[in-house]
Amino acid sequence: MLLALLLPVFLIYYLSVGARHRLIWSVLLLGGLFLAVAANYFWLREWIGYWWLRVPLTPSELLLPHRTVASLWRAPLWGDMLDRGVTALLFSLGTVG
C-alpha cells in the first residue's frame, strides 16, 4: 500500500527523468514493475480473492477515554505491552536506517 501511495512521486520522477532516456529505458522500467508484481503474485492472488474478509473493530476499541499520549499508548487496539515494544523498536530502527 505504501508504494501505491508513492505512485504520484514515481510518476513525477518518470516524467522528469524518462524524457532524457531512450525507449529501452522505459521498457526496462516497466518490465521491472511487472517482474515485481509477478514475484508477489503467489500471495496477491489469495489477497484479491479474500480482501473483503476482515474483522471489524468493535465500538469500544475505537473510543479512548481521553486523547493523551499515555492513553493512546495503552489503547487495546495496539495489543499488549510486548507488541507495543516491538513496534517502537521497529520504528526506531527504521528511523535510524
Domain ranges for the chain: 2-50, 59-96
Residue ranges of the chain with pLDDT lower than 50? none
Backbone angles phi, psi at 20, to 5 degrees: -85, -10
Q: What is the pLDDT of residue 1?
A: 67
Whose grid coordinates read 499508548?
Answer: 73
Q: What is the pLDDT of residue 74?
A: 79
pTM of this structure: 0.41
CA 73/CA 81 separation, integer angstroms = 9
Backbone angles phi, psi at 68, to 5 degrees: -120, 170
CA 38/CA 75 separation, integer angstroms = 38
